C-alpha cells in the first residue's frame, strides 16, 4: 500500500466516523433530556398522591390556579362539593413541572405514596 492510499482510507474512515458517531450517541442522550409535564399530567399526579378517602368525596375536583409562565410549579387546589353551592378545599398543592414531585403548599411538604410513585414513572 502506498502512502496516498493509506491516507485516503484514513480520511474516508475519519469522515464516516465523524458523520455516524454523533447519531449513534445522540439517540440515548435525547431520552435523558427532561420535558415539562402538562397541566393534565400534573392533575393526575395530584390525584394519585391524595388518599382515596379524599378523591372519593362527592363532586371531587381539581382546580388549576393561574400560572406564571416563569414558575417551575403548577398551582392546584383539590376541592369537593358540599350541599348546595358550597365548595370545600381539601388542600392547595404544587406540582413541579420538571420532576413531577407533588408538594403540600401549606406546609411545604412533599407528598409520597406508592400510587404517586407509580404515576411518576
Q: Does domain 39-120 have CATH number 3.10.450.170?
A: yes
Residue 16 has pLDDT above 60, yes or no: no
pLDDT tens figures, 29-75? 444 456 899 999 999 999 999 999 999 999 999 999 987 666 899 99
Confidence of residue 24 (pLDDT cuts 50, 70, 90): very low
pLDDT tens figures, 80-92? 998 887 889 999 9
Percent helix, strand, coil in the chain, to 5, is: 45, 25, 35
Whole-number Å distance between alpha carbons of 9 and 53: 71
Q: Record the cell numbers describing residue 6, joined without a space.
A: 493509506
pTM of the model: 0.69
Q: Record the cell numbers describing residue 8, joined without a space.
A: 485516503
What are the structural domain ranges in the chain? 1-33, 39-120
pLDDT at 25: 47
Are the C-beta atoms of 13 and 21 separated by less than 8 Å?
no
Amino acid at each position: 500500500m502506498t502512502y496516498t492510499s493509506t491516507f485516503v482510507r484514513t480520511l474516508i474512515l475519519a469522515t464516516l466516523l465523524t458523520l455516524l458517531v454523533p447519531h449513534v450517541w445522540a439517540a440515548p442522550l435525547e431520552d435523558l433530556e427532561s420535558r415539562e409535564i402538562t397541566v393534565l399530567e400534573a392533575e393526575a399526579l395530584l390525584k394519585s398522591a391524595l388518599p382515596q378517602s379524599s378523591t372519593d368525596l362527592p363532586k371531587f375536583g381539581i382546580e388549576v390556579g393561574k400560572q406564571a409562565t416563569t414558575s417551575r410549579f403548577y398551582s392546584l387546589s383539590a376541592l369537593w362539593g358540599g350541599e348546595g353551592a358550597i365548595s370545600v378545599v381539601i388542600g392547595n398543592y404544587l406540582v413541579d413541572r420538571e420532576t413531577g414531585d407533588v408538594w403540600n403548599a401549606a406546609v411545604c411538604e412533599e407528598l409520597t405514596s406508592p400510587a404517586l410513585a407509580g404515576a411518576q414513572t
